[in-house]
Structure 1
Amino acid sequence: MKTITTPPGQLRPTSIALAAAMLAMGACAVPALAQQGAAPAKTVEEGLQTVVVTAQKRAQPMQKVPVAVNMVDAKAIENQQIVDFSDLTRVAPSMTLNQNPGNNTISLRGIGTFAFSIGIESAVSVIVDEVPVVQQMQAFSNLSDIERIEVLRGPQGTLFGKNSSAGVINVVTKESSDTLSGHVQVTATTDDERKVEASVSGPVSDAVGFRVNAYKVKRDGEITNLTTGEDLNGESAKGVRARIDFKPTANLRGKVIADYGTRRVGGPVQTLRAAPAGARLFGQPIAPALAGVTAGPENRNARMDTAGFTDSKNTSFSGTLNYQLDNHTLTSVTTWQDWKYNYLADFDGSEIPLLAIFSGGAVQGGFPMNGPYHSTMLTQELRIASNGDGALNYLGGLYYSDSDSERAFTRSRAGFPVAAKWDANTGNRTVAAFTQGEYKLTDATRVSAGFRYNREKINVGFTNLIPAVPARFAGASSDDVVTGKVALQHDLAKAVMVYASFATGYKGAGYDVSSGFDQSRIDRPVAPETSKAYEIGVKSRFLQNRVQLNATAFLTDYKDFQAQSSVVDPSTQLLQNAVNNVGELRTKGIELELTARPVNSLVLESSLALVDAKITSYRNAGCYLGQTLAQGCIPLGNGFVQDLSGKRLSNAPEVKATLGATYNFPLGESGYSGVANLNYQYQSEVNFDLKVNPLQVQEGYGIVNGSIALSTPMHALKVTLFVNNLFDKSYATFINDTADLHGGAHVLTQLLPRNSQRYVGLRVKYEF
């Protein structure tokens, strides 16, 4: 299915009022949320083209779906330089990322799951060619040969399952072509990236087509390790994807996709953001290890004896069959994936030889920590859907998944401070039945409703290898739940639809698998997270189909929100850093998306998300490092706690906005053409600490990206010059306070992503 989308650009408001005013200026100021690309079978000759999504597991025009969804297609992906999963924040309203050396978290409308445990599911489901990832870190990879990406905001559990309580990101790769075709693309950048991509596609016979895509990329890092002189946070990656599409009979069609990819990152490492004079690490002065390092928000130098790495290897297969009956379609989707991940990191993040100091010189080096992950998942879905022609349209299905994850962990060596060594495994078996139907009350009014019954069983095994006689803990738990959704939509005019919906969400129970695991964590697993979501919206097109305005207002209440935080252990009355249920929270706000095509050669687009994500009840939360009684840290048992009720959720910006434009132009009468894109993205300040440590705040920032491309006739050759972060605005995707390691001194570390500095690139693409 070929579609058109909306890439985002970006806008920088200095206040909420200014942001709203800029968006309201209409077609004169807008981002690129949906670039115009190849049109689907039925398109509009003038103005904006039809965008088709599968937000409800059937192909539907985006403007007719009562779901907050935006989509970017292949043209938008190319013009916006969306080459890595983290680049999606450029085009998705309300989407933010928390990237740090131990974990990566995706959040929608302020809601995501930050946890180090392999036994805790994510709140945002990532699906690639109908294969749901087991661990969210799998998603952070290169995007190559992509047809479209759909971002569904808000609980989507009725159709997509329990680990989509905050939303779904659905990635669809390109299908095989009707004629032999392909492309080769080479990219080079000023930050020393070299990338080669290639694909070939075509028919094998009248009934069978194929597509093969491969890529290889290598990039030097942007962080310099002054101890060794090497660059850190660079990457090398490669992958290949093969696809077969077949239609042996008029009623039967299917596809088989095999995907394999590897990625190695030199780090990632954090740099020093603040280092108070006299700070000591486990009693050792850190000043001698800071030669040449100037701590600050733009510090890209480090001194480390063990820089570390992360390695990942992902293999997946999916097979889909569709059988067309007279009035229904039967669908079977089978997927399997295998993900391996390993890493090595320096616990102290410095070149101070702590092991040598503590061992009197017997053992050299710092405090390394490492350990491999291994996750597998098998899924099977069967569903039946009506053909969409009658007053009543519906679908129903059955779902089964079986996933297992293993992890080993070692930190330092036995007998040394903060030593840990363990092996663990978790499992999840899920069965579900779901259905959703839509009934046309009148030609203009439709009501839809659906529910999902889900039953799952989880299990865990943990072996602490530090004692002379290893300690083994094991347990299991099960749960079942019914979630649902109801929506009412009405066409005010031919191209103006309003809707209201209510949905319940669910994210399953889990085990906090981390250092310190014992029987108490089995006896008290992390409880399921539930939600109730209310949403109203309007989707409209006007001015002869040249302006599109979509607006959504939402309110979602979460109960037993799962997060990594500090709580008082009921048996010891001591604070523990663990995954637990953070009481209740509420996220509410509005999202506006405006697209205009005043002339056929120019597309203007913008988005604005105003999100108020707050904790509504969390009274006995842990205090942040250094928090005083006057700042709300009070004694309880053998520890200290604070009341986080009313505080803003971590990594949840109040304002996110985009503004941009894409202009297509001919070069005289030669047949040559060009396309220019300029976009701007703004995000207001965030605090990376759930406990609201004021030192872990990233101030608001705006980023400008742009590109200009020239193509030969028939677009056989295309040369693109692009710039990322034109004004070289530095920002962090994670800030950490390590006062607990430095004797109370607030030594701050930060992760500066690649996109937090300017680089220029040249891309050459040849199509045949």
Structure 2
Amino acid sequence: MTRSVAFTLLSSTALAITSPGLAQTGDDSSAPAAPAKVAPDAGEGLGDIVVTAQRRAQALQSVPISVQAFTSEKLDASGITNTADLALITPGLVVARGVGLSSPFLRGVGSSSNGPGVESPVATYVDGVYYGSKADAMSSLANVERVEVLKGPQGTLFGRNATGGLIQIITRDPSSTPGMNARVGYANYNTVTASGYVTGGLAENVSADLAVDYLDQGKGWGYNTTNGKDVNLTNSFLARAKLLIRPSDDTKIVLAGDYSERDSDVGATVRFLDGFTPVSGQPYTGPRYGVQNDVDQFFRSKARGASATLTHDFNDITFTSITAYRRTNYSLALDSDASPAPTLRFDTSVRERQFSQEVQMSGGAPSSLEWTAGLFYFNGNGHQTISFAGSFYRNLAATQTTRSYAAYAQLTYPIMENTRLTLGARYNAEKRALSGQQFNLTANGTVLSTITVPLGTDAKFNKLTWRVALEHDLADDVLGYASYNRGFRSGGFNPSGLTTPAFRPEVLDAFELGLKSSLFDRRLRLNLAGFYYDFKDIQLSQFALGVQTVRNAARAEVYGVDLDMEALLTSRLRLTGSFEYLKARYKSFPGAAIASPRPGGGNVIMIGDASGNDMIRAPRFTVSAAMDYSLPLNADTSADFNVTYSYNDGYFGEPDNLLFQPAFSLVNARATLNFSDRHKISIWGRNLTDKYYTAILNAATVGSVGSPGEPRTYGLTFETRF
């Protein structure tokens, strides 16, 4: 999408506000608003943060789960624009962006496996809708109300693929009050951004909104030394709309639709790592954000979806129905040998679609019995084509389908004064099926051999997951809790390699002790959680010349401590900080892929034992801290300042622990000048120290390769609202 087309669309969006029925919330647009936090005045403490971590609206401090919640203002101030950026403000979260796809790891639990029907164990939900595709989960955070990151398995209320946790995105609903918000910006690397939001009433009890978000990066972070073309470029567009209907005071209907495009080679552009010699014997000597390839690598995706959410209150019982359909297409090309030689090119195209239906009922009161029960159905279909050309020739076409059914219930009952017991269970029944064919060819197209997986090749996975939690009010505004949760990630097939039989499901048993407190007249919020995981049959992938294989690691042990803090020092100054200590190791992992550097270059990959090694993307220490300061300048002008700091102690890229990303720190900052609560000018910077770090690490036979994280970026934005 060109810049002129995007600005035309934004202009049309802004003009729509002149229509008599349209509306305004007065909220921020680009980074959304409608804060979930009640802002304190000079004499008050920290306001409540409302979350839906247990599928009902509750105060953060009353939920016996380790949750971090971020309002739109917090995301905007810290420079968080998409789900991958959440790692900056969420200790324990590491997001890999291999080949353009988002792979979050939370407390060491995650997966870098890709392909149709391959779902992440850290699930993504948007407005109650499960996003199964990894390409779909790389989502812009434009127009959100808040984001919740739930740590630990959420298998009872959210499902089979929330083993490691959950990223839950809540966008704002339309308002009947007319309004518009628009933002434009310019940053280094010739980057133009623009976003807009309009909302308003269409008729009595009917309101609508439309949000658009656009990014065009004109210059890459680096270039390809082979042909001089820019690399590490991103262009994206998102449009999201809602229609809110209230037939009565007890009934709410939300119809939602979204469309997005993303064209980015970030994560797909890999080069040989410094200090490691490739098989050619010639180390990489180009720019640090560049490559030296004979293939113009790319990743392009399109996603669209629609949902209908019906909520009705029957006195003390609330009924909710969520119906959703999504389609995601993406294609990519890789230089699998990461060199200027035409050794091997990898191309793939994936089409995924999903349909989900959930019905839920909840009721009760905290003083008696609170309960939630529901049914969930998921139908997914993914088709993939792959071609290899170069040192060998191969064409592959594969389809993986998923049908999943679940029934769940959870109740919380006060067993004595100030003490409550929660019991929950979910039964999952799932069927996965694989079909496809692979042709191994000569350079002139002659078929040498074929592999066929016929229709009817399937596997069934039935599993019971549960939650047991005991919570006690130790004092006013002090909650202690202990919980035991079981989560599982479905088994399945590897469509990229047509390997059978299916790999086994992951099973994670999690034990957690937590303390949530609001102290000093609610001017300090301090939450602490200790956890222990027994993790079995871990699904791990290994890539060799672009070919993915998936295997089960036998067992791992994970334990650690989370600490979250927020302090309102004055009415103008707020400090936030989070810390996680994590110890995550494979207790038993025979049959792991072990890479060893060859003396002349490249790696020898053999099968060995990774027992005792650290788990991948599981840093020992992670820290996030931020300072927010507001300064009134005169009656209608003020200035806001934010500095956000993140520290990562480093992590291994693969189970053999050959490649390690050393510790690194990132600093973001923003200064905003506010005029009459209507207009804003902001200057901002991300990764201000220009720290170079590697987000993807892979030891292949041709050599050890990696892909970098974002360099220093900075820019200026202007925002207006009416």
Contact kept, 8 Å, 2:630 with 2:638, in 1: the verdict is yes
Per-residue deviation, 1:541: 0.5
Give the C-alpha shift of residue 420 in structure 1. 2.0
How far residue 141 of structure 1 moved from its aligned partner, in angstroms, is: 3.5
1:537-593 per-residue CA deviation (whole Å, 9 max, x = no partner) reads 0000111110010000000111111111499xxxxxxxx972111000011100001
CA distance in 1, matches of 2:581, 2:257: 40
CA contact (8 A) 1:203 1:209 kept: yes
Match of 1:232 in 2: 231
Structure 2 gap ranges (5+): 1-24, 28-32, 442-446
Q: How far apart in 1 are the matches of 2:143 and 2:196?
A: 9
Helix, strand or coil at the partner of 1:274: coil
For 1:204 and 1:324, locate their aligned partners in 2 and report how far apart those are by CA, in whole Å. Answer: 24
| 1:690 aligned onto 2:655 | yes
Q: Which residue of 1 aligns with 2:386?
A: 409
Question: Once the 2 structures are TM-superposed, how far is the Cα of residue 172 of structure 1 from its aligned partner?
Answer: 1.1
What is the 5 A alignment of 1:570-649?
A: 578-626=549-597, 640-649=606-615
Which of 706, 731, 736 is matched with 2:669 structurally? 706
| Conserved? CA contact 1:712–1:718, under 8 Å | yes
Instruction: Render the CA deviation track for 1:385-430: whole Å, top value 9, x for unaligned.
Output: 0043650110100110100000000010xxx523221000000101
Work out the CA distance in 2 between the residues paired with 1:299 and 1:236: 21
SS of equivalent residue, structure 1 residue 56: coil
Q: What CA distance in whole angstroms lies between the structure 2 residues aligned with 1:587 and 1:275?
A: 31
Choose from 388, 392, 405 the match for 2:369.
392
Match in the other structure for 1:759: 713
Structure 2 letter corresponding to 1:224:
Y
Distance in 2 (CA, whole Å) between partners of 1:239 and 1:101 is 20
Q: SS where residue 77 of structure 1 aligns?
A: helix
Which of 211, 214, 217 is equivalent to 1:213? 211
Change in 2 beyond 3 A, CA 1:168/1:43: farther
Which residue number corresponds to residue 618 of structure 2?
Answer: 652
Candidates 687, 690, 704, aligned match of 1:748: 704
1:643 is displaced (CA, Å) by 2.6
CA distance in structure 1 between the aligned counterparts of 2:297 and 2:621, rounded to whole angstroms: 35
| Pairing partner for 1:376 from 314, 328, 353 | 353
User: Do residues 465 (structure 1) and 445 (structure 2) align?
Assistant: no
Residue 596 of structure 1 deviates from its aligned partner by: 0.3
Aligned to 2:684: 722
Pairs within 5 Å for 1:265-276: 265-266=264-265, 268-274=268-274
Aligned match of 2:428: 454
- Residue 493 (structure 1) aligned with residue 475 (structure 2): yes
Offset at residue 196 of structure 1 (A) = 0.7
**Map of 1:148 onto structure 2:** 146
Number of the residue aligned with 2:193: 195
Change in CA separation of 1:672 and 1:563 when aligned onto 2, cut-off 3 Å: same
Are 1:559 and 2:548 matched, yes or no? Answer: no
Alignment of 1:485-524 (within 5 A): 485-515=467-497, 517=498, 521-522=499-500, 524=501
Q: TM-score, normalised by structure 2?
A: 0.90
CA distance in 1, matches of 2:591, 2:272: 31
* 1:218-266 deviation per Cα after TM superposition (whole angstroms, max 9, x unaligned): 0132021233322111111112111011111122112011000001114
1:318 is aligned to 307
User: Are residues 692 and 266 of structure 1, via their aligned partners in 2, closer, same or farther at CA, if it must alter by over 3 Å?
Assistant: closer
Residue in 1 that maps onto 2:21: none
Kept after mapping to 1: 8 A contact 2:496/2:548: no
The one-letter amino acid paired with 1:705 is N
Q: Distance in 1 between matches of 2:106 and 2:626?
A: 22
**Distance (Å, rounded) in 2 between the aligned partners of 1:640 and 1:673:** 62
Q: 1:732 aligns with which of 694, 708, 720?
A: 694
What amino acid is the match of 1:506? Answer: F
Q: Residues 706 and 398 of structure 1: is their aligned pair in 2 closer, same or farther, counting only changes over 3 Å?
A: same
Q: Which moved more, 1:300-309 or 1:643-652?
A: 300-309
Q: Which residue of 1 aligns with 2:410?
A: 436
Matches for 1:66-105 after TM superposition, within 5 Å: 66-101=64-99, 103-105=101-103
Of stretches 263-272 and 89-98 in structure 1, the one that deviates more from structure 2 is: 263-272
What displacement does 1:472 show?
A: 2.2
Q: Which structure is higher in RCO with an 8 Å CA cutoff and minimum separation 6?
A: 1
Instruction: Give the number of the structure whose residues are more often strand, by fraction.
Output: 2
Is 1:271–1:301's contact at 8 Å kept on the other side of the alignment?
yes
Percent identity over the alignment is 26
Secondary structure of the structure 2 residue equivalent to 1:157 = coil
- Change in Cα spacing, 1:508 to 1:407, as seen in structure 2 (3 Å) is same
* Equivalent position of 2:128 in the other structure: 130
The residue type paired with residue 575 of structure 2 is L
Paired residue for 2:20?
A: none
Alignment partners' CA distance in 1, 2:290 and 2:377: 48
Partners of 2:649 and 2:75 in 1: CA distance:
24
Q: Which whole-Å CA distance do the structure 2 matches of 1:676 and 1:708 have between them?
A: 5
Using the TM superposition, give the Cα deviation of residue 120 of structure 1 relative to its aligned residue in structure 2, in angstroms.
Answer: 3.3
Letter paired with 2:233: G
CA contact (8 A) 1:527 1:581 kept: yes
Offset at 1:599? 1.1
Q: Distance in 2 between matches of 1:36 and 1:142?
A: 17
The answer on whether the counterparts of 1:266 and 1:307 sit within 8 Å (CA) in structure 2 is no
The runs of at least 4 aligned residues of structure 1 exceeding 6 Å deviation read 41-45
Alpha carbons 2:51, 2:59 under 8 Å: kept: yes
In structure 1, runs of 5+ residues without a counterpart are 5-34, 355-366, 568-575, 634-638, 742-746
Supply the distance in 1 between the matched residues of 2:598 and 2:485 (Cα, whole angstroms).
39
> Contact 1:566 / 1:621 at 8 angstroms: preserved in 2?
no
Tell me what 1:16 maps to.
none
Quote how far apart the aligned CAs of 1:102 are. Answer: 6.7
